Amino acid sequence: MQLRWFDRWLKGIQNGADHDPKVRIFVMGANRWRSAETWPLPGTKYRKLYFHSGGKANSVHGDGWLSADKPEDVGDDEAATDAFTYDPTDPVPSIGGRFQASVPGGRTISGRSSAGPTCWSTRPRR
């Protein structure tokens, strides 16, 4: 898809890329591609999610979760806070850009105990 776009707009090759849908995303879980002419996609349903934690949303093994319940609705009036320490001398390693959570060799950084990623998760979809 990227080569087709670059061929059209940088090399001037008439390959029809200028007629492709404006939006194309991969839907994980459904394991399929979806196309549309606008963003957000037609039929998008918005949901408010709130951060919750016991103060240790510091990895996939931490205690952070997302919920549709407001903190005051779940008794979190005195909820613990999470902190992220930014240290440019100890960057979180990644390959493939800032959206990847892996390092060479296939091991993940999600379990990193130092200034690693903060993590809030929802329950698995059914």
Residue 92 CB neighbours (<10 A): 15
Which pLDDT tens digit goes with each residue over 64-112? 888 888 877 556 556 667 777 777 887 766 655 555 554 455 455 555 5
Between CA 36 and CA 42 the distance in angstroms is 8
% of the chain beyond a pLDDT of 90: 31
Which pLDDT tens digit goes with each residue over 27-76? 888 999 999 999 999 999 999 988 888 888 877 778 888 888 887 755 65
Query: Is-contact 54 82, C-beta < 8 A?
Result: no
Query: Is-contact 116 59, C-beta < 8 A?
Result: yes
Alpha-carbon Rg for the chain, nearest whole angstrom, is 20
